[in-house]
Chain A
Amino acid sequence: MEAPAPAPPAVQHQPTVLFDGSVLPAPVTITPAGPLFGLAALANNLGGTLEPDENGESFTLTIEGKDVVIAIGSAIITVGDNIVSLSQPPIRGEGTLLVPLDFLQKTYGDLAGFAFDWRPGVQQLVISRRAAREVPVLLDVVHLQGMTTVVLQFPEAPRYQILRQPGEVDVQMMGDRLAPPPSPPPVADPLVQSVTIAPDQVRIQLAPEAQASSYVLENPFRIVFDVHLPSQEPVPVAPGPAPSERTPGVRTIVLDPGHGGTETGAIGPSGIQEKELTLTIARELEARLESQLGVRVVLTRNEDANLPLDARTAIANQNKADLFISLHLNSSLGAGAHGAETYFLSAEASDAAAARMAETENTAQPAVPEGTAGLETQDLELILWDLAQTHHLLESQRFAAMIQGELNQTLQLRDRGVKQAPFRVLNGAAMPAVLVEVGFISNPDEEKQLQDAAYRAELVASLTRAVSSYKALVENRPEPPQASQPVPPAQPGTAPPAAPQPKSPGRP
């Protein structure tokens, strides 16, 4: 029998890094979790600056104006203000800072357009400049109340910079190429003369004296320009019909029973769950509003089911609701908490999108998170929902004050006023929106009361009176509400003085 041929000796490859055909003097360490690469040598050749912090426990890598903060031993890094998880933590070794392959892809790859190909068979990292991507872009131009909003929507964030010249704004691609929409909408606008989409840039030609400010929204990625005349403050615009197109009134109300499904919400001392009571109260309020005010009422959920917060306001927007009321029961870490509280969105939360503007202009953008590609087909009416509540803060505050006033009277509470907080369920509502905590389920006495149908009937009557008062105010107002005026700046979390309330039209 012939002896098997001996296996050829395994070729031991020295790990190397190749860039543009040349070997870089970057150390490579092979670990069971994958290769690690010396960052300092790569930064010297690919660009960027790498600096340790004052006590040497973290480093900052700056690429294309973005800071990447790296903590030794931590698998989470920050890229600008974004959090990025790595397959393994950067470590010290071979006299330098060693980083994994996905670090390079998520920093130099996303920010500077490099491609990294690790070939384990030959223990070689090949770095190249990535070929230009073709990025589809959708265009929408909306003119409302003296301001034009131009929206450029992308399935993923392109690498771009914004250049401004008198009378025009250019969004220039940096390595990517744009694929214009097959039939871009015609632009006939008093403030924007034209929008031209070429493979390398989008040019927005402004009307004489018009000015444009810009900011970025995500999911899907959008660059938004607010174009206005110098005398007018730029005001974010929400989707939906312009106020002038709608007769003032309260015809449709969306009630949102808080929590549901696996999200129980607060749990009382006896075990009653917030999600059960909010649904009960919502159904009772629905019946009363329909019978006494003749309005259409839609519940965001009518069963014990999970419903994401963003879907709740989406239901209100799709139903073109005139009011959105999210119903909740409260709990507190301290003892003795009791009573009702009414919230509207904090201005700080609604300003978040605009606040991103300064950081994003004139810088290349990191890629949007995975899973957002393909959203380019999303209805363009949805584009501005991120800012929808900004449009209605004053009316939300007015409505919240009416609810709290009625609840104070019913529950014999001293006036706590209305409150502001960055509650997510209020963020996307394109109508006056409030979150009402009708009582503390964590308080044994209130938990017991809330299970009593007669007590709930009083609460429901209070809420109905508040809606009735607000409805009367809106319908008897000589002028449409100045919906585009944001609430004046206030200390975070504190509501400005309550708007004047109309005389109650009588208790229903």
Chain B
Amino acid sequence: MNRRAAAFILGLALALLAGGALWWWLQGLGSRGTENRPPAGTGKAVPVPFDLWIPDGIGLRVERRELQVTSAPKDRIRRIAEALLAPRPDGIRLFPEGVALAGVQLSKEGTAYLNLVWDGHEDPPASGSTEELQRVYSLVNSIVTNVPEARRVALLWNGLQRPTFAGHLDTSRPLAPLDALRTR
């Protein structure tokens, strides 16, 4: 084998190794935060309009959005929360980039539990009270007003219930919607 052929084989092996490592890393990235996620609803997903509560000024405005959901309440809760956590066209994010929904539970008493995770961050983002109200009640109001089976929402951070997210709101218990935050 001449030197050129050996260099080609070595290069090919390195490329395969790098590609495999990249694939493995991307697989891991995709599964982060989903360990506790139960399988999606078995019903067929169809487009359904929802009224989502979106941060606006010092409150929340209601915006109608169509989401692909099944008939399972937990699937609807998950899709609504994921839609709210996604970046918006105006650049405003409900939570900083990296905050993800790791799991959803719905008790028979009508409490929806959302487990939010943020890799590398022990605490939720620091903020003033209006920002905390917007973050928490965007999720609470959107879920309770669109999913009849959910009457209250409890937010978990990295799997734990916290006395407060940012030093104001009492998040140690399930929250009912706060309609007074509606701006228009």
Please list the residues of chain A having a beta carbon within 8 angstroms of any beta carbon in chain B: 54-58, 60, 67, 69, 71-78, 80-81, 83, 85, 89, 258-259, 263-267, 274, 308-310, 328-334, 336-337, 341, 343, 346, 348-349, 352, 359, 419-425, 427, 435, 437, 440-442, 491-494
Contact call A72/B129, Cβ cutoff below 8 A: no
Q: Which chain A residues lie closer than 8 Å to B115 at the CB level?
A: 76
Known: A69-B108, A266-B126, A424-B169. 4 other contacts (CB 8 A): A74-B37, A76-B113, A78-B105, A334-B55
Closest residue on chain B to residue A258 by CB atoms: B167
Partner of B56, one of A331, A334, A494: A334
Given contacts A332-B134, A492-B180, contact A81 B128 (CB under 8 A): no
Q: Can you report 25 A-B residue pairs in the complex whose CB atoms are below 8 A from each other?
A: A54-B72, A57-B39, A60-B108, A67-B107, A69-B107, A76-B36, A76-B156, A83-B113, A83-B156, A89-B36, A274-B128, A330-B129, A331-B127, A332-B128, A333-B134, A334-B55, A334-B56, A348-B176, A421-B133, A423-B170, A427-B170, A441-B128, A492-B176, A492-B178, A493-B181
Question: Does chain A have a CB within 8 A of B161?
Answer: yes
Please list the residues of chain B having a beta carbon within 8 angstroms of any beta carbon in chain A: 35-43, 55-58, 70, 72, 74, 92, 94, 103, 105-109, 111, 113, 115, 126-131, 133-135, 154, 156, 159, 161, 163-164, 166-170, 172-181
Given contacts A74-B36, A423-B169, A424-B172, contact A491 B105 (CB under 8 A): no
Contact call A265/B38, Cβ cutoff below 8 A: no
Contact call A57/B36, Cβ cutoff below 8 A: no
Q: Which chain B residues lie closer than 8 Å to A58 at the CB level?
A: 38, 74
Q: Which chain A residues lie closer than 8 Å to B38 at the CB level?
A: 57-58, 71-74
Given contacts A81-B174, A258-B167, A264-B126, contact A55 B42 (CB under 8 A): yes
Complex CA–CA separation, A258 to B66 (angstroms)? 40
Q: How far is the CB of A113 from chain B (nearest CB, A)?
A: 23
Q: Which chain A residues lie closer than 8 Å to B176 at the CB level?
A: 348, 492
Contact call B37/A73, Cβ cutoff below 8 A: yes
Task: Please indicate which of the listed interface residues A74, A77, A264, A349 has the most CB atoms of chain B within 10 Å of its own CB.
Answer: A74
Closest residue on chain B to residue A346 by CB atoms: B178
Contact call A333/B131, Cβ cutoff below 8 A: yes
Q: Which chain A residues lie closer than 8 Å to B164 at the CB level?
A: 309, 424
Q: Which chain B residues lie closer than 8 Å to A425 at the CB level?
A: 168
Contact call B57/A423, Cβ cutoff below 8 A: no
Closest residue on chain A to residue B95 by CB atoms: A333
Q: Which chain A residues lie closer than 8 Å to B169 at the CB level?
A: 421-424
Partner of B128, one of A54, A85, A442: A442
Q: How far is the CB of A507 from chain B (nearest CB, A)?
A: 28
Contact call A83/B154, Cβ cutoff below 8 A: yes
Q: Which chain A residues lie closer than 8 Å to B35 at the CB level?
A: 75
Q: Which chain B residues lie closer than 8 Å to A441 at the CB level?
A: 128
Complex CA–CA separation, A493 to B144 (angstroms)? 15
Contact call A308/B163, Cβ cutoff below 8 A: yes
Complex CA–CA separation, A55 to B128 (angstroms)? 41
Task: Please indicate which of the listed interface residues A60, A259, A266 has the most CB atoms of chain B within 10 Å of its own CB.
Answer: A266
Given contacts A74-B36, A76-B113, A440-B128, contact A422 B57 (CB under 8 A): no
Complex CA–CA separation, A308 to B162 (angstroms)? 12
Closest residue on chain B to residue A55 by CB atoms: B42
Closest residue on chain B to residue A54 by CB atoms: B72
Closest residue on chain A to residue B55 by CB atoms: A333
Q: Which chain B residues lie closer than 8 Å to A264 at the CB level?
A: 126
Closest residue on chain B to residue A343 by CB atoms: B129
Partner of A263, one of B94, B103, B113, B167: B167
Complex CA–CA separation, A83 to B161 (angstroms)? 8
Contact call B180/A80, Cβ cutoff below 8 A: no
Contact call A334/B57, Cβ cutoff below 8 A: yes
Complex CA–CA separation, A349 to B175 (angstroms)? 9
Complex CA–CA separation, A440 to B128 (angstroms)? 8
Complex CA–CA separation, A361 to B41 (angstroms)? 35
